[in-house]
Amino acid sequence: MIVDTTQSQTRHISGAAADPDAPAWRTTVIVVMEEGAPESHIEHVTEYLVRNGVKIHRVDGTTRTVLGLIGDVTSLDRSLIESFDGVYEVVKVSEPFKLANRKFKPEGTVIQLDEVRIGGDEVIVMAGPCSAENEEQVFSTAAAVKRAGAKILRGGAFKPRSSPYSFQGLGEAGLRLLRTAANEHNLKLISEVMDVSQIDLLEKYADILQVGARNMQNYTLLRELGHASKPVLLKRGISATIEEWLLSAEYILAGGNRDVILCERGIRTFESYLRNTLDISAIPVVKKLSHLPIVADPSHGTGRRDKVVPMARAAIAAGADGLLIEVHCDPDRALSDGAQSLYPAQFDELMAEIRNIAPAIGRSICVEPVARRGWAR
- The smaller minimum CB distance to ligand PEP, of residues 115 and 271, is found at 271
Of 123 and 130, nearer to Mn ion (C-beta) is: 130
C-beta closer to Mn ion: residue 76 or 130: 130
Question: 99 with 26: CB under 8 angstroms?
Answer: no
- State the minimum distance, in angstroms, from the CB of residue 171 to ligand PEP: 15
Question: Quick one: what does residue 56 bind among Mn ion, ligand PEP, none, with the CB cut-off 5 to 8 Å set by partner type?
Answer: none
Rounded (10°) CA dihedral 276, 280, 284, 289: -10
Q: Where is 135: in which H helix or E strand? A: helix 135-148
> Could you give the angle at the alpha carbon of 208 between the alpha carbons of 308 and 349, nearest 5°?
25
Q: Which does 15 bind (CB under 5 to 8 A by kind): ligand PEP, Mn ion, none?
A: none
Q: Which does 235 bind (CB under 5 to 8 A by kind): Mn ion, ligand PEP, none?
A: ligand PEP
Indicate the residue among 33 and 130 with the shorter CB distance to ligand PEP: 130
The minimum distance between CB 216 and ligand PEP, in angstroms, equals 8
Shortest reach from residue 13's CB to ligand PEP, in Å:
40
Q: Which position's Cβ is nearest Mn ion?
A: 130
| Triad 36, 42, 48: Cα angle to 5° | 155
Positions touching Mn ion (CB under 5 A) are 130, 337
Q: How far is the CB of 10 from Mn ion (least distance, A)?
A: 35
Rounded alpha-carbon distances, angstroms, from residue 306 to 84, 303, 311:
57, 9, 10
Which phi-psi region, left, alpha or beta, contains residue 129 (left: φ > 0; alpha: ψ -120 to 50)? Answer: beta
Q: Which does 265 bind (CB under 5 to 8 A by kind): ligand PEP, Mn ion, none?
A: ligand PEP
Q: Which is nearer to Mn ion, 151 or 159 (CB)?
A: 159
CB of 330 to ligand PEP, least distance (A): 17
Residue 258 interacting entry, from Mn ion, ligand PEP, none, C-beta within 5 to 8 Å by type: none
Task: Specify whether the backbone of 117 is left (phi greater than 0), alpha (psi in -120 to 50) or beta.
Answer: beta
Provide the minimum distance between the beta carbon of 324 and Mn ion in the complex, in angstroms, as a whole number: 10
Q: CA–CA separation, 339 vs 303, rounded Å?
A: 7
Residue 4 C-beta: closest distance to Mn ion, Å: 29
Instruction: Compute the distance between CA of residue 257 and CA of residue 264 in angstroms, rounded to an integer.
Output: 20
Residue type, 105: K
Beta bridge partners of 32: 66, 89
d(CA 267, CA 300): 9
Smaller CB separation from Mn ion, 46 or 341: 341
The footprint of ligand PEP (CB under 6 A) covers: 130, 156, 160, 212-214, 235, 265, 300
Nearer to ligand PEP, 49 or 178 (CB): 178
Q: Measured at CB, which residue is nearest to ligand PEP? A: 212
* Cα distances (angstroms) measured from residue 213 to each of 163, 183, 193, 240, 374: 16, 27, 11, 9, 38
- How many angstroms separate the CA atoms of 9 and 327, rounded? 38
What is the number of alpha carbons within 13 Å of residue 281 lying toward its C-beta?
Answer: 4
Q: Which does 160 bind (CB under 5 to 8 A by kind): Mn ion, ligand PEP, none?
A: ligand PEP
